[in-house]
Chains A and B, each alone.
Chain A
């Protein structure tokens, strides 16, 4: 069971679960048989839980996607790869720790695996800049994309970022250019590529690693043009209205499927990925393997063509 602090909307469930624990404790301490009461509560909790996580509001999904214990890229690397060798640096003076990449073997298949890294602690978060890459991170990723293309390695990117870092240095070294260049260059790669948004997929910072043949979202991940908070403060003129903005932006996996922006949704364990990282990783692994199996049937030219057409049809016009 999830022993981390509950999110606001989970509190009623948490209250029932705490009660169950108390009763169990009481029963062991006093020897009184409370099994009936406990069983009723457990059943109640189970039903409540099912309902709760099926009917999540977009803003609640956003909370799960940002959960402090949500598995990070490194966790998934350790759970889905048979072998992993990190490749560091952009060769121009920087090794951005918000984007990590390297050679990996997944179910016997060598791939180039690249992802944005967040932390599960303050120290880790500081090291990885809370998952917000600088231009140098995107350029490191690009170097690894080229490497993959040269050696015909399929590319897998795992995305969980609140966005590309908005800072002085990032502007000076060309955050916009770095992302733009990745979009263009990824489109011309001839190896199969898939992207999976596992948490936050915010804006150009996410897209800069996601011009792939296929894009998937974890069940409670979200993918958006701007964070709900940013949207609320600009359009609703009130940062407090982030929850309304989250509704309006259509950022959940279901919405994105309906809008034709992603190929599929990857199931999470009840309550979110942090409740069972191993199960989540297995689901991710299955998606990677089956997608690459299919994409590898395409010729290099077809890979490019498919990617072009995939993005070409995005949008709705009259």
Chain B
């Protein structure tokens, strides 16, 4: 080996070593891999997406963002969003550990959404329906004035267009930062559903992980048919509040989709892969009379 060969080899080695050793940043790893909350196996993000955010190993259902929901549930390019530019205010000038305005900005950055819900119309296996999807990543999917207003306008529009309504809930409940006005959204949306009920239009409520509080106690539980998505936890009061009140340990399956089915609170549980077909069947069966 000549000296120049030796240098060349060393350079090559160094290069390959360097290339191999550049560590991925945490955020890059997170983008490529996701750990299952349930079986703790690492799953390639791409694979997870192809499997509709369901763990390919143990079937655990991850929380789904609204953009994915649109993809998983609606026919391609059929979604027509309405009222997307309604933005939250700060009517109470609310500040806890940080001002509500700042929380809104952080939520926008974190979720790339301007609120916790998107609403509109779309096709499910060629059937038209009003649809709303909630996103937990925007302030825990909480319902404030904007969620209530968008939901209500959607219901009113469904009545006008004589179309069925499907809502997918994923929410910690009412948004405390808007105080009493959040509570009033429960009444507002329920009043609109009262009109929809009298118009004899189909409303299917899908409860996804998690659905609690003010959403459960309003449109969440008002579906003509109520579907719990697999692995969703659903309830009125939070687990911690109940434990503190009754001072006893709660059963392991408490407030799971199975638990709600057992106690007659939901019509069925749906696997995410089946959800679209289930919804389309329900729409077709109820459209039969027309």
**Which residues of A188-211 have CB atoms within 8 Å of chain B's CB atoms?**
188, 203-204, 207-208, 210-211
Q: How far is it, in angstroms, between the C-alpha of A235 and the C-alpha of B178 when the chains are bound? A: 13
- Would A171 and B254 count as touching, CB distance under 8 A? yes
Stretch of A14-22, A93-101, A172-180 on the interface side: A172-180
**Which residues of B176-193 have CB atoms within 8 Å of chain A's CB atoms?**
176-188, 190-193
- Would A171 and B237 count as touching, CB distance under 8 A? yes
Bits for B150-186, please: 1 = Cβ < 8 Å to A, else 0: 0010000000000000000000001011111111111
Q: Pick the contact of A235: B97, B184, B221, B255 (CB < 8 A).
A: B97
Minimum distance in angstroms from A40 CB to a CB of chain B: 43
Closest to B211 in A: A176
Q: Pick the contact of B242: A171, A183, A308 (CB < 8 A).
A: A171
Q: How far is it, in angstroms, between the C-alpha of A186 and the C-alpha of B92 when the chains are bound? A: 28
Q: Which residues of chain B have C-beta atoms less than 8 A from A164's C-beta?
A: 217, 236-237
Count A-side interface residues using an 8 Å CB cutoff.
Answer: 55
**Which residues of A81-131 have CB atoms within 8 Å of chain B's CB atoms?**
none
B-side interface size class:
35 or more
B7 contacts the other chain (CB 8 A)? no
Minimum distance in angstroms from A59 CB to a CB of chain B: 15
Given contacts A224-B179, A226-B176, A259-B181, contact A318 B89 (CB under 8 A): yes
- Would B176 and A235 count as touching, CB distance under 8 A? yes
Bits for A247-286, please: 1 = Cβ < 8 Å to B, else 0: 0111100011001010000000000000000000000000
- Would A316 and B181 count as touching, CB distance under 8 A? yes
- Would A168 and B242 count as touching, CB distance under 8 A? yes
Q: How far is it, in angstroms, between the C-alpha of A288 and the C-alpha of B221 when the chains are bound? A: 32
- Would B237 and A236 count as touching, CB distance under 8 A? no
Other A-B pairs, 8, CB within 8 Å; known A180-B221, A317-B146: A166-B238, A170-B237, A175-B236, A180-B190, A204-B213, A235-B96, A311-B184, A316-B89
Pull 20 A–B residue pairs with CB atoms less than 8 Å apart, ordered by A. A164-B237, A166-B246, A167-B242, A171-B236, A172-B265, A176-B216, A177-B221, A179-B217, A180-B220, A181-B221, A203-B174, A204-B213, A225-B176, A225-B182, A250-B92, A251-B179, A259-B180, A261-B180, A315-B146, A316-B145
Residues of B within 8 A of A (CB): 86-89, 91-92, 94-97, 144-146, 148-149, 152, 174, 176-188, 190-195, 197-198, 213-214, 216-222, 235-238, 241-242, 245-246, 250-251, 254-255, 263-265
Residues of A within 8 A of B (CB): 164-168, 170-177, 179-181, 183-185, 187-188, 203-204, 207-208, 210-211, 223-226, 230-231, 234-237, 245, 248-251, 255-256, 259, 261, 307-308, 311-312, 314-318
